[in-house]
Amino acid sequence: MCAKKALGRGLSAIIDDVEDAYRQDLDDSSELIREIEVDLISPNPYQPRTYFSEEALNELSESIKKHGLLQPIIVIEKDDKFVLLAGERRLRATKIAGFKTIRAIIADIESKNLRELALIENIQREDLNPVELAVSYKELIEEYKITQEGLSEIIHKSRTQITNTIRLLSLSDETKKLLSNGRLSQGHAKIIVGLSSKDEENIVNTILGQKLSVRDTEILVKKIKSNSIPHKTQEKKNEPFRDNLKSIKIKLNEIGFKSKIGKNSITVVLDDQEKIDKFFDKLL
């Protein structure tokens, strides 16, 4: 069993609330749907989604004008008004379309769970961009003191997927912005996680400038990583050689000869004939 929040209801129970709301058979339960004024609906203050494509909203708006709103939004009632739980894109597009009312389901959910519900609703419906999703995962893990494995079991996503998504938060702010607005794909971003800030910037610029595929990016990143490995490997390989040069220097010093160690060599200082003769005597 995963750890649950010390106070209040557990994460699994909150997820069940969201799933129950969506599990309603809307055709058979038309009494659950009401037509409410859009001006009476406030956004969920804990909505994790921060980026909404203007182009996509306009397209959805045109669709709503033509076909109507096929899926109601979900709200909770509060002080004779409503707080949005699910469907912010639909609400925004409905306003753009010029409609004054919108079809909505009034959910029977405690308002104290608004933050968690907003996170879970978006995660379950895959309604977030990769950065927003990463933030949601991180917040749920921290809020409920659970492991990535525990979150994986609750939201039915693989632990690897959760780990890779959270790792995106280590990218630079500029890269995360490109990822949020769709200019950079999650496939590209996953590959460049872990690079130095300079390499990350160079790779991102190359991806955008040359329109690299994920596969091309992977090859390029491997080249960058491999170029840094030989240098360290060669240094380690040279350690015994350098140690031998130091031993020779010590021995030369003991018999009266000065020497200098270079990168891959040793130089014996013979600055007069006497030292030259002595050196040859030692060699013979």
Q: Which residues pair with 55 in a beta bridge?
A: none
- What mean pLDDT do residues 43-66 have? 75
Banded pLDDT at 146 (limits 50, 70, 90): confident
Task: Please say if the pLDDT value at position 2 is more than 60.
Answer: no
Tokens found for residue 4: 């649950």
Determine which of 74-88, 102-116, 137-151 has the lowest per-residue pLDDT on average: 102-116
Query: Pick the catalytic residue: 31, 77, 88, 274?
Result: 88
Strands (DSSP E) along 73-203, which ranges?
Answer: 73-78, 81-86, 101-106
Task: Please say if the pLDDT value at position 52 is more than 60.
Answer: yes
Tell me the pLDDT tens digit for each residue of 59-106: 888 888 888 887 788 887 878 888 887 778 888 888 898 889 888 877
Tell me the pLDDT tens digit for each residue of 24-40: 444 444 556 788 898 88
Tell me the pLDDT tens digit for each residue of 188-222: 999 999 999 999 999 999 999 999 999 999 999 99
CA distance 193 to 189: 6
Starting at the edge strand found earlier in the chain, the sheet holding 81-86 runs 33-37, 101-106, 73-78, 81-86, 41-42
Q: Which residues pair with 76 in a beta bridge?
A: 83
- 268 versus 170: which is more confidently predicted? 170
Is 11 buried (19+), middle (13-18) or exposed (0-12) by CB count in 10 A?
Answer: buried
- Which stretches of 98-184 are DSSP H helices? 114-124, 130-144, 148-155, 159-167, 173-180
Task: Please say if the pLDDT value at position 12 is more than 60.
Answer: no
pLDDT at residue 72, rounded to an integer: 82
Tell me the pLDDT tens digit for each residue of 223-251: 888 876 444 555 555 677 777 778 888 88
Q: Which long-range contacts (CB under 8 A, 24 or more apart) does 236-242 make?
A: 238/264
Verify whether residue 88 is a known catalytic residue.
yes
Total Cβ atoms within 10 A of residue 207: 24
Task: Please say if the pLDDT value at position 54 is more than 60.
Answer: yes
Q: Does domain 11-109 have CATH number 3.90.1530.10?
A: yes
Tokens found for residue 242: 């350098």
- 107 versus 99: which is more confidently predicted? 99
Task: Please say if the pLDDT value at position 112 is more than 60.
Answer: no
Query: In the chain, what are the domain boundaries?
Result: 11-109, 237-283
For residue 267, what is the enclosing H or E element?
strand 266-269
Q: Which long-range contacts (CB under 8 A, 24 or more apart) does 240-243 make?
A: none
pLDDT at residue 139, rounded to an integer: 77
CA distance 182 to 44: 24
